[in-house]
Amino acid sequence: MRSKVPTAIEIDNDKQVIHKSNFDKKGLAEDKVDILKLCGFACVYCSSNAGMHISMLLQTISEAVREATGADFDRHNVNDVAITYKDVIGTLNRQLDSLAMPPGKGRTLVFCQLTDGFSPQVLRSGTTREILEILIDRTDFRIRVLTKNAIVGRPEWIRFFADHADRFVVGLSIGSLDNEWAKRVERLTSVPTSRVKALHALQDAGVPTYGMLCPMFPEVLEGDHIERLMDAIRPELCEHIWAEPFNDRRNWEYVRQCYEQGSSMWNWLTDVYEHDRQDLWSGYATGLYQRLKDRAFSDGWLEKLRYLLYESGIITEDAPAFEGLDGVLLQSKPHKNGSSKNEAFAQLQQIIT
């Protein structure tokens, strides 16, 4: 992880820490905890910053940021601040005290859904470790850890996860193997090569792991980058592999600023989101899926693939590439009857059923 540590700002916590998760449609978890409001890794493409959990407290957050830094709060440019909760440990204990029985039997809880629970602020304060210990001791959840911090591959964390291997499954989000790209776009995270080493260390120690190739930008389609990326996570040692293209959350212009004006990616982002070239995004998302599916099929791990697709962005001409919907989890809001609002995908669903 790179050295800059954003200013930590505390705000009041919710009355509960454990909540139902909307990651069930992604196949990741039924429940969640979030121990921060905004993590300190400053990934430019982050979709969480545009979410309702920020919007509902935007004035409170803006005032807190202004008081702490003297600057206005820009939810899409947050490399200077991280927002933590007051007394999150006490809040979790009080929530569990109110329950007659430990929650979570037969359920998976994601740590953390909207932020990175291994962000420097909560990691250094000991909050990360204490929250995880409480979840182990006082709940029956299986805990899904997702992080961009390679610290989870250090011996002390490997021992922790290995000692509770029946309770954890650990993933590191790795959407590229390009460290220089990550320094521009995933600004304060561990670089991808360090995350790969951490994942390998966990796997070699027998800790259950999963792959998270999210998000992957069009650049990974160049040469054999995407195949090397798949090989790097060692699918044979992962329980499942999730993958996803970049989905704009009103932050594409910030992502574009990470590229030189006139470069191929600068032009692609401009064409797709400023000039509304849906066909370009559709072709990219389809190409990712085809390459993933081909490698997964040839190497025998197609049943592990979980491709997260907002199919509303796929044009009719590209839809046949998804025939069978092998490994595809449709994410766009469906009709009330459960069928896709994209007619081409609704037809694919009918063929399957």
Among 6-10, 17-21, 135-139, 303-307, which is the least confidently predicted range?
A: 6-10
Give the rounded distance of the alpha carbon of 126 from its chain centre. 23
Q: What is the per-residue pLDDT for 193?
A: 97
Whether residue 57 is predicted with pLDDT greater than 80 in this model: the reply is: no
Q: What is the per-residue pLDDT for 218?
A: 97
Question: Contact at 8 Å (CB) between 83 and 36?
Answer: yes
Whether residue 210 is predicted with pLDDT greater than 90 in this model: the reply is: yes
Q: What is the per-residue pLDDT for 4?
A: 57
| pLDDT tens-digit series, residues 151-163 | 999 999 999 999 9
Quote the CA–CA distance of 289 and 321 in Å, as a whole number.
8
> DSSP secondary-structure letter at 151?
G
Among 251, 316, 256, 261, residue whose Cα is nearest residue 286: 316
Quote the CA–CA distance of 186 and 195 in Å, as a whole number.
12
Whole-structure pTM value: 0.92
Q: Which residue has the higher pLDDT, 269 or 8?
A: 269
Question: Contact at 8 Å (CB) between 200 and 237?
Answer: no
Among 167, 165, 191, 169, residue whose Cα is nearest residue 178: 191
Amino acid making up residue 226: I
Q: Is 5 exposed, middle or buried (0-12, 13-18, 19+ CB in 10 A)?
A: middle
In CATH, what number does 7-275 get? 3.20.20
Residue 31: which region, alpha, beta or left (left: phi > 0; alpha: psi -120 to 50)? beta
Sorted by where each begins, the domain ranges of the chain are 7-275
Q: What is the per-residue pLDDT for 53?
A: 65
Quote the CA–CA distance of 32 and 112 in Å, as a whole number.
6
Q: Is 1 exposed, middle or buried (0-12, 13-18, 19+ CB in 10 A)?
A: buried
Query: Residue 150 — very low, low, confident or very high, per pLDDT cuts 50/70/90?
Result: very high
Whether residue 79 is predicted with pLDDT greater than 80 in this model: the reply is: no
CA distances from 106 to 27, 67, 132, 137, 345 (A): 14, 44, 18, 16, 32
Q: What is the per-residue pLDDT for 9?
A: 74
Question: Contact at 8 Å (CB) between 279 and 315?
Answer: yes
Among 18, 248, 47, 6, residue whose Cα is nearest residue 141: 18
Quote the CA–CA distance of 302 and 251 in Å, as a whole number.
32
Query: Residue 59 — very low, low, confident or very high, per pLDDT cuts 50/70/90?
Result: confident
Quote the CA–CA distance of 179 and 154 in Å, as a whole number.
20
Q: Is 336 helix (H, G, I), strand (E, B) or coil?
A: coil
Whether residue 22 is predicted with pLDDT greater than 90 in this model: the reply is: no
What's the mean pLDDT when you consider all of the chain?
91
Section 8-19 average pLDDT: 80
Among 7-11, 225-229, 324-328, which is the least confidently predicted range?
A: 7-11
Q: What is the per-residue pLDDT for 1?
A: 52
Query: Residue 44 — very low, low, confident or very high, per pLDDT cuts 50/70/90?
Result: confident
> DSSP secondary-structure letter at 332?
S
Section 289-313 average pLDDT: 98
Question: Contact at 8 Å (CB) between 124 and 88?
Answer: no
Q: What is the per-residue pLDDT for 168?
A: 98
